[in-house]
């Protein structure tokens, strides 16, 4: 399990770069001309498709900086800075495609979640109570991971255990980071 954990951490490291750049863009009001809803304000069954929070800015940042991160991974692999077992894919051959797949997976995982929530009548940032609330809470933790595996499956055929372990690690990591953010006063809620 430890080996899989390190493989997944390496595979997912471009996501940290993309999320960090997005954080700087929010903090310093960069690229605000791209804050255009992906759904362009359109509705489906009388409800917004995704809502105002899912923007072209985030989509482009995810694609560009996951790709930059994957190119860095390829450079690291070429320099032999890490043992070969950590690489789930030949990053040197697939860096560009891998970055695009990671960025698309991040975006479409979140878009799917937003679509389901909007169609279920859950406004952005709100929560449901009861069993449906628990289901949406869990889906909020893993939507990106599921989206990424859907796209990565085009170039990586991982064992089922690796996918399940990545989902478990995503839930634990998300809850820990959210809790720390809450305790540090950076978030209004724990999850």
Query: Consecutive 10-residue runs of the chain (191 residues): their mean pLDDT?
Result: 96 94 92 96 95 96 98 96 95 96 97 95 86 89 96 92 96 88 77 64
How far apart are alpha carbons 121 and 114 in whole angstroms?
11
Q: What pTM was computed for the model? A: 0.91
For residue 99, give the nearest of 48, 165, 41, 151 by alpha carbon.
Answer: 151
Report how far residue 160's alpha carbon sits from residue 177's, in angstroms, rounded to the nearest whole number. 26
Would you list the domain boundaries of the chain?
A: 2-163
Neighbours of 66 (CB within 10 A): 29
What pLDDT is recorded for position 178?
A: 82
**Which pLDDT score, from 0 to 100, does residue 181 have?**
79
Helix (H, G, I), strand (E, B) or coil at 55: strand
Structure tokens at 169: 């690690």
């Amino acid at each position: 399990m430890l080996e899989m954990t390190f493989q997944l951490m390496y595979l997912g490291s471009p996501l940290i770069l993309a999320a960090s750049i997005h954080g700087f863009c929010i903090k310093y009001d960069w690229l605000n001309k791209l804050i255009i809803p992906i759904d362009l304000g359109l509705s489906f069954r009388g409800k917004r498709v995704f809502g105002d929070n899912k923007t072209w800015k985030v989509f482009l940042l995810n694609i560009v900086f996951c790709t930059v991160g994957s190119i860095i991974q390829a450079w690291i692999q070429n320099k032999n800075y890490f043992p070969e077992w950590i690489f789930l894919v030949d990053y040197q051959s697939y860096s560009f495609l891998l970055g695009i797949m990671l960025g698309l997976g991040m975006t479409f995982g979140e878009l799917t979640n937003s679509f389901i929530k909007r169609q279920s009548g859950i406004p952005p940032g709100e929560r449901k109570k009861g069993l449906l609330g628990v289901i949406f809470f869990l889906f909020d933790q893993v939507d990106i991971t599921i989206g990424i595996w859907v796209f990565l499956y085009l170039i990586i055929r991982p064992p089922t255990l690796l996918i399940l372990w990545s989902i478990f690690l995503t839930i634990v990591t998300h809850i820990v980071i959210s809790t720390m953010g809450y305790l540090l006063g950076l978030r209004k809620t724990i999850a």
